[in-house]
Amino acid sequence: MTVSILSFSSPDLIGSAARGAVITAFLVFIGLCLLWVFTLATQDDDPERLYIAGRSLPPGFNGVAMAGEQITVVILVSLPGAIALFGYDGVSTAVDSALALGVFLLLASRIRATRRYTLGELFSLRAEGPGTRVAGAVVTLCIAVPLLMVQLRAGGITAALLLGRPTETAQVVCTLLMGFLITCFAGVADLRGTSFVQVAKVPVALATLAAVTLLALRLFDWSPASLLSAAMDKSMAPDDYLSPGLWAHTADFGPLGTISDHIVVILGTAMMPHLLLRVSASRDVPAARRSLSVAVGLTGLFYLLLITTGFAAAAVVGSGQIGAIDAKGQGAPILLASEVLPHHSTGRVVLITLVACVAFLAVLTAVASVTFAAAVSVTRDLIGRRDRVRSAIGEPAVVRLSVVALCAVSLLLTTAVYRYPIEFLLAFSLSLAASCVFPALVYTFFWTGFDRRGLLWLVYGGLTLCTLLTLASPAVSGTRYALLPEQDFNLFPLHTPGLVSVPAAFLLGWLGSARPWERTAHPRHTAPDPLPHVDPPERASTPARTS
């Protein structure tokens, strides 16, 4: 038995009379976005200008772009649906996602001060050698590919719902078409060009969400209390809607599962590889701090609007109808936009078109950012030291080819498994980032005894644990929302492995570096701290005194 994300009885949200106008406006918007990206593409062969915009982005501009990195299509369409269906549990996930940039703020200044911007380069701060760079590239790819599959899948679902064709065939066709367009975009984009699109996306997304929520609030005489009360009444469990535990993916050990989810969402979202490029594009360490301050404020506003949108969808549309169309609620924003205005009004068509355009911008920028970061890691960490390859075709060309290859592989995998629910791959990517990247960076910056063996034990041990525990979890088998709901080889009771894998990764890193079983007459030598406390090239110099 296979599980389709959208049921075949999905209603026609737009109507045949307005569909032509919506699709035309949507296609024009896509064409303008692609044209703009091609004009912004950098022709410079300098790798640093390509990867991190020559470290020249102003703090405010980079902060808005950093906030745009958080506005992905999965977050945009999934979180309001999760809140509409599951109430408190969806809100807690939104709050966790908003807190992630606060965690990243703790390490961002140190990352920027090192002047390194891939995981392999950061891992090699205390553990030089090709093995550490390969480990960084492996982790980056293992995080990026599942994340790309989920993003492409969500974009295809949104497009199919917009067209009023929710069949599996339509989903695959929409995913392929959007994937092709996004591959063209990502193949020519660089960090500077992507930043302009991210900056444009933020006000459009915020204004659209604000318009939808205000129009929904108008239906309840501008009373937030009435809207929330209606959301509870129209939910599938009115008495438990604002209580934890309604989300059915918490199998056994409910409180421990909730803690594990919090760990994975907060630490995983904060440790995404594309954020490393973003913070490295700042002019200096103080500029990186200011950028993050701007990003934290805008991200908080975005998640506040998302929470309001979720409650509004439950109040206006009803959790039952949202769940009947999409078991995970991914159609909630478009459903809400189609119900807050009269069905034959021009404003309704405009609002639905805006929601669709924001969704396209979200999937466009999210896929481009993730693939670009992964391609930079492949170029610098896997083949960056092979001068023969780099001199033959050039490093920028290697990056472009890597971007196209990653997009193509992710698109093929997405279409190959289109019959199955693959949303658990998002939790898997976040689990890898929380278990492999966060402990490694904490040890790198705060423990001088951390060495190559400890790093490799931590990275590959965390990767192995996350993979095995995820395969044995309710996300893969034994539950209604699992990848294989009719089979049950569920041996690990938690939906996400963070509660086990993150502490285990810290332990493996300590055991590999400290090696407490080694008893020698002389204490082990630990390398001095190689991390710079200031950024040498950007430090103000004092003119020489003349006699």
Chain segment 56-78, per-residue pLDDT in tens: 888 899 999 999 988 888 888 88
Average the pLDDT over 393-398 and give the result: 76
pTM listed for this prediction: 0.86
What pLDDT shows up at residue 164?
A: 67
What pLDDT shows up at residue 45?
A: 66
329: alpha, beta or left, given left = phi > 0 and alpha = psi -120 to 50? Answer: left
pLDDT at 237 over 60: yes
Other Cβ atoms closer than 10 A to 540: 4
Task: Please name the amino acid found at residue 475.
Answer: A
As a whole number of angstroms, the distance between CA 373 and CA 370 comes to: 5
Q: Do the beta carbons of residue 263 and residue 434 sit within 8 Å?
A: yes
φ and ψ at residue 524, rounded to 5 degrees: -65, 140
φ and ψ at residue 326, rounded to 5 degrees: -150, 115
Among the listed residues 475, 156, 158, the one whose alpha carbon sits nearest the alpha carbon of residue 330 = 158
Looking at every residue in the chain, the average pLDDT score rounds to 81
pLDDT at 48 over 90: no
Digit-coded pLDDT (tens) for 161-189: 777 666 777 788 888 888 888 888 777 77
What pLDDT shows up at residue 197?
A: 85
Which one of 96-100, 134-138, 179-183, 356-360 scores highest in mean pLDDT?
134-138
- Both tokens assigned to 22: 């919506």
φ and ψ at residue 540, rounded to 5 degrees: -65, 135
Residue, of 277 and 539, whose pLDDT is higher? 277
Digit-coded pLDDT (tens) for 30-40: 777 777 777 76
Task: Identify the H or E element spanning 202.
Answer: helix 191-218
Average the pLDDT over 97-101 and give the result: 87
Q: Which residue has the tokens 């472009």?
A: 400
Residue, of 106 and 490, whose pLDDT is higher? 106
What pLDDT shows up at residue 98?
A: 86
As a whole number of angstroms, the distance between CA 34 and CA 189 comes to: 10
Among the listed residues 217, 262, 271, the one whose alpha carbon sits nearest the alpha carbon of residue 435 = 271
pLDDT at 42 over 80: no
φ and ψ at residue 437, rounded to 5 degrees: -85, -50
What pLDDT shows up at residue 350?
A: 84
Residue 477: strand pairing partners: 484
pLDDT at 346 over 90: no
As a whole number of angstroms, the distance between CA 116 and CA 143 comes to: 19
Contacts of residue 365, Cβ cutoff 8 Å, sequence gap at least 6: 68, 69, 71, 194, 197, 198, 201
Average the pLDDT over 75-103 and give the result: 87
CA dihedral of 137, 141, 142, 145, whole degrees rounded to 10: 180
What pLDDT shows up at residue 87?
A: 86
